[in-house]
């Protein structure tokens, strides 16, 4: 690259040019070379390996607040996602689901108890999760979601349930294989009255990857252009979680 081209790129890269240059160098290494294959086993394994390397290098920390173990530089975090998109969209989506959607839900909808319990583990990939909003019958029409979270005052638990086939959580990134926990968006019901959509932390798999009791997951299989993303579906059958699993920044 000529000096003129280098100066021009630095000018166009703007405030986060150092972030972009660091990512350019890292993404040029062999392990991050895009792997174009329709074989989902190979593609998903490769993306998981790449995501682990990114986590070890502190890639997620910019997107989380300092008091939760991050660097609090949202602009740098968005820049990293932009750079990943220039290399491998599967890796971009996988990182975005883990740290942006799942981690973002915990940090921005939860309170101190959730931040202490989950955020550092999410950053380090010790806790793999998914963002369970979209439903078969409603897409991302959040107001119309059918999944319910009914409060049982006798046990101080929420009962998570998929009452109809159309309430199935669908095309959820990470739900097919890797996610152990889901940020589940559901209609919150107390005393027979619906209080609208809220988000709860719901474990869906054990450490061996088996569905937990009352949880049924399935695989959406190959996704065109994103073979490394394990999109899946989730059904809940009267799954109980503690009251404290409600992400309660806006309601408790």
Q: Do domains 3-123 and 129-245 have the same CATH topology?
A: no
The whole-number pLDDT of residue 125 equals 97
CATH topology for 3-123 is: Butyryl-Coa Dehydrogenase, subunit A; domain 1 (1.10.540)
Instruction: Return the CATH number of the domain spanning residue range 129-245.
Output: 2.40.110.10
pLDDT at res. 25: 92
pLDDT at 246 exceeding the cut of 80: yes
Q: What is the pLDDT of residues 36-65, one digit of tens each?
A: 888 999 999 999 999 999 999 999 999 999
Q: What is the pTM of this model?
A: 0.93
Predicted pLDDT of residue 1:
67
- Kindly give the residue spans of alpha helices, DSSP state H, lying in the chain: 3-13, 17-27, 40-56, 74-87, 89-95, 103-109, 112-114, 120-123
Q: Domain locations in the chain?
A: 3-123, 129-245
**φ, ψ for residue 189 (rounded to 5)?**
-120, 125
């Amino acid at each position: 690259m000529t000096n003129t081209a280098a100066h021009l790129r630095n000018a166009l890269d703007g405030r986060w040019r150092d972030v972009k240059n660091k990512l350019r160098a890292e993404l040029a290494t062999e392990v991050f070379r895009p792997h174009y294959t329709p074989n989902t086993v190979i593609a998903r394994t490769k993306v998981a390996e790449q995501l682990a390397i990114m986590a070890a290098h502190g890639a997620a920390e910019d997107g989380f607040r300092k008091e939760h173990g991050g660097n609090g530089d949202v602009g740098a975090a968005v820049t990293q996602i932009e750079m990943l998109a220039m290399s491998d969209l599967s890796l971009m989506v996988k990182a975005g689901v883990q740290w942006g959607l799942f981690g973002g839900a915990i940090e921005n909808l939860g309170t101190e108890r959730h931040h202490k319990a989950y955020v550092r583990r999410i950053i380090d990939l010790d806790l793999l999760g998914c963002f369970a909003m979209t439903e078969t019958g409603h897409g991302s029409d959040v107001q119309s979601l059918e999944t319910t979270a009914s409060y049982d005052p006798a046990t101080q638990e929420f009962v998570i349930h998929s009452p109809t086939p159309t309430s199935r959580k669908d095309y959820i990134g990470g739900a097919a294989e890797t996610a152990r926990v889901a940020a589940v968006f559901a209609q919150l019901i107390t005393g027979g009255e619906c209080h609208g959509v809220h988000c709860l932390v719901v474990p869906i798999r054990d450490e061996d990857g088996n569905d937990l009791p009352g949880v049924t997951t399935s695989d959406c299989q190959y996704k065109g252009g994103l073979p490394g993303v394990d999109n899946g579906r989730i059904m809940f059958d009267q799954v109980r979680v503690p009251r404290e699993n409600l992400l309660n920044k806006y309601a408790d």
